[in-house]
A = this chain, B = another copy of it.
Amino acid sequence: MSLQAMDTSHVSLVSVSLNSDGFDKYRCDRNLTLGMNLISLSKIIKCAANDDTIIIKAGDGGDKITLLFEAQNESEVAEYEIKLMNLDSEYLGIPDTTYNVTIKLPANKFQRICRDLSQIGDAVTISCAKDGVRFGAAGDLGSGSIRLAQTASSDKPEEAVTISMQEALCQSFALKYLNHFAKATPLSSQVTLSMSPDVPLVVEYNISDNDDENPSNIGFIRYYLAPKIDDTDES
């Protein structure tokens, strides 16, 4: 099951993919594209309790999707129907790209950096070199920059900072969108930033199942954001 959405200003794109083996039961007879209002969907999803079983049903050519939330003890069943929308845009095929720079860092550290630098300015400049990465911002009150060194391997993989790069790169991005993306932080201990000249940044979080002892990867959420063209580097 995959999902795509674009913000109203068409600057950023989100793409979610969940493998069928991440579901307890999964049946899909043929490919089906469903248009849905995300605000409606999120309102309904909030009505599920934490340990409810969620069933999603959609028929061929129907104008609605059905969500069933079943409590553990089965004495309570909630059934919601959401009207579908006709979408103007088609599902986008996003080409697989190889990126010049890939940075893996703790997801909560990325979230904090974006939030902190939002205090200083509207945009962050990400400068990547072999030994580390620098996040910088500037504004009326002054400037700020946060440098992360690549960590030694092996110890505490969830706290590692890993940089793989072919060439040094420096790009600026609107922090407003990155702060939205960082709301996915609880999904994954690490986030991956992928960058190349003149293509959108990819911010990717893996989605694992809830098996604490042996978690397996069942999908991902990827955010795409174009770099700021008028690159006002603050350094």
Residue ranges of A at the interface with B (Cβ–Cβ < 8 Å): 37, 40, 43-44, 46-47, 49, 64, 75-83, 109, 112, 116, 119-120, 140-149, 151, 161
A149 to chain B, nearest CB (A): 5
**Number of this chain's copies in the complex:** 3
> Are A141 and B75 touching (Cβ within 8 A)?
no
Contact of A77 among B83, B143, B146 (CB under 8 A): B146
Residues of B near A141 (CB, < 8 A) are 37, 40, 43-44, 82-83
Residues of B near A144 (CB, < 8 A) are 44, 47, 78-81
Known: A43-B119, A119-B47. A142 touches B80 (CB 8 A): yes
A55 to chain B, nearest CB (A): 14
A220 to chain B, nearest CB (A): 26
Residues of B near A143 (CB, < 8 A) are 80-81
Would you list the 8 A-B pairs with minimal beta carbon distance, nearest first?
A47-B116, A40-B141, A43-B119, A80-B144, A82-B142, A78-B146, A81-B142, A75-B149
> Are A149 and B37 touching (Cβ within 8 A)?
no
Residues of B near A46 (CB, < 8 A) are 116, 119
Complex: chain B residue closest to A43, CB-CB = B119
> Are A145 and B43 touching (Cβ within 8 A)?
no
A41 to chain B, nearest CB (A): 9
A130 to chain B, nearest CB (A): 15
Residues of B near A47 (CB, < 8 A) are 116, 119, 144
List 12 A-B pairs, Cβ < 8 Å.
A44-B120, A44-B142, A46-B116, A75-B151, A76-B149, A78-B116, A78-B146, A80-B142, A80-B143, A82-B142, A83-B140, A83-B142
> Are A161 and B77 touching (Cβ within 8 A)?
no
> Are B142 and A76 touching (Cβ within 8 A)?
no
Contact of A145 among B78, B142, B146, B161 (CB under 8 A): B78
A46, A119, A142, A151 — which one has the most chain B CB atoms within 10 A of its CB?
Answer: A142
Contact of A75 among B44, B116, B120, B148 (CB under 8 A): B148
